[in-house]
Amino acid sequence: MAINKHHAIDPDKCTACTICITACPVTAATRKFRGPKMTGPALTRLRKLVSDDDPMLDYCSNCKTCDLVCPSGVPISTLNMLAKNEYYKTHPRKSPADDMLAHSEKMGKLITSIPLASTFANLGMTIGKSVGMLGAMGISSNAKMPSYASESFISKFKKIKQTSYQRKVVFFSGCFINYNQPEVGVDMVKVYQKNKIEVAIDENFVCCGSPMVAGGYIDDARVNAAKNAKLLKAWVDKGYDIITACTSCGLMLKQEYQELFDFEGMSEYAEHMYDSVEYLAKLHDEGEFNTEFANDSTEYIYHAPCHLKVQAIGRPSMELLPLVPGIKIQEADAGCCGISGSYGFKADKNPIAMKVGAKLFGKIKDSHAELGVCECGTCRLQMENGSGVPAIHPLTVLRKAYGL
């Protein structure tokens, strides 16, 4: 296939300068991965010519550090993902875990729809781990799997009584918050209410598709993108801003959709999309952020997720959290944690993920902080798993500081 220019994908911009290889956390961990420039722009040219086994495609974790450092604006990781998705149309999958990890929403729906299922599912994970079931499925027994909540965020949201305000946002919770850590969603609503913002949700939103793309199921992701894009555009037309509290969902909806797909209205709604803390930081700039905090003397260490960095929105959490009186918070500044969504859960990739994250784990341990802070759910799991220190969302810190 020739490269379609109607897309925002442009391998022609690559000058082969190799900065992406120098910055790639996976290449640094294993030379089995020749690096983003090779799997992305360089091989994109050759894939038009020949097809071949391409084990390297699976090594890219889609952390997007390459996109961040590229001086030529090449969407390198997206070229990788497109190639990977094209590849699995004609090649057998190596890992039986791919399907499950890519379709986390399906799992989440199934488990939370049956009473007590989450208890059994979580138990199942533990038992499965101990009897080597997960290993057989291609899931690492070393990774900490997310557990399922007994009640979804959407169900909890409906029970929250909100005050109506003029400033309105729609919250795209995403699968992880909805099924695994619904309290983060509740934190978000509470903190936003405290800042005179009314939060809406939309039960018709579906999984953003990020794990599908990373797992090589782009056709499924396209279906989801079409649905979400239409809904999001409609909310923006009604005067709502869009908020995400998962940096991967945010990146996907705001940026990757436009790189991968071609649906109407995407660039329009994207202008009204914010990360949950970024939005509060914007309020702060406008002098409207509520800083009536109680004292918090906890020691925190903050890790900036790759998918936040690549959004080029700075470190809003490091702007706001230090406003809490008494707080001690430092930034880990230790690169990628290694997990990259579902990557680190795969048995064959887990050792790479742990090696990538080693610097971060060391920093967390050495800091003697009581809690890690991070916007990304799977990063938090990896931080806990690698360092033994629990990690929470910055909104949780804010909720506590508001005394809620």
Out of 22, 30, 32, 45, the residue judged to bind other proteins by CB under 8 A: 45
Q: Please report the DSSP string for 318-363 in residue order.
A: HHHGGGSTT-EEEE------S-TTTGGGBTTTHHHHHHHHHHHHHH
Residue 300 CB contacts under 8 Å (≥ 6 apart), including other chains: 321, 327, 328, 329, 330, 369, 370, 371, 372, 373, 397
CA gap 11, 14 in Å, rounded:
6
Closest CA to 377 of 108, 35, 97: 108
Asked if 1 interacts with other proteins (CB under 8 A), we say: yes
Asked if 19 interacts with other proteins (CB under 8 A), we say: no
- Closest approach, Cβ 16 to other proteins, in A, equals 4
Out of 24, 33, 40, 44, the residue judged to bind other proteins by CB under 8 A: 44
Instruction: Single out the segment in contact with other proteins by CB under 8 A; choices: 8-16, 261-269, 283-291, 383-391.
Output: 8-16
Asked if 151 interacts with other proteins (CB under 8 A), we say: no
Asked if 66 interacts with other proteins (CB under 8 A), we say: no
SS (H, E, C) 19-69: HHHHHCHHHHHCCCCCCHHHHHHHHHHHHCCCCCCCHHHHCCCCCCHHHHH
Asked if 89 interacts with other proteins (CB under 8 A), we say: no
Contact between 153 and 203 (Cβ < 8 Å): no
Asked if 41 interacts with other proteins (CB under 8 A), we say: yes
* Angle, helices 117-130/104-113, rounded to nearest 10 degrees: 120
Question: How many Cα atoms within 13 Å fall on the side-chain side of residue 123?
Answer: 6
Asked if 50 interacts with other proteins (CB under 8 A), we say: yes
Based on CB atoms, which residue is closest to other proteins, 4 or 295?
Answer: 4
Out of 23, 24, 38, 281, the residue judged to bind other proteins by CB under 8 A: 38
Asked if 53 interacts with other proteins (CB under 8 A), we say: yes
- Closest approach, Cβ 25 to other proteins, in A, equals 20
Instruction: Single out the segment in contact with other proteins by CB under 8 A; choices: 13-21, 214-222, 262-270, 390-398.
Output: 13-21
- Closest approach, Cβ 104 to other proteins, in A, equals 29
Asked if 90 interacts with other proteins (CB under 8 A), we say: no
- Closest approach, Cβ 43 to other proteins, in A, equals 6
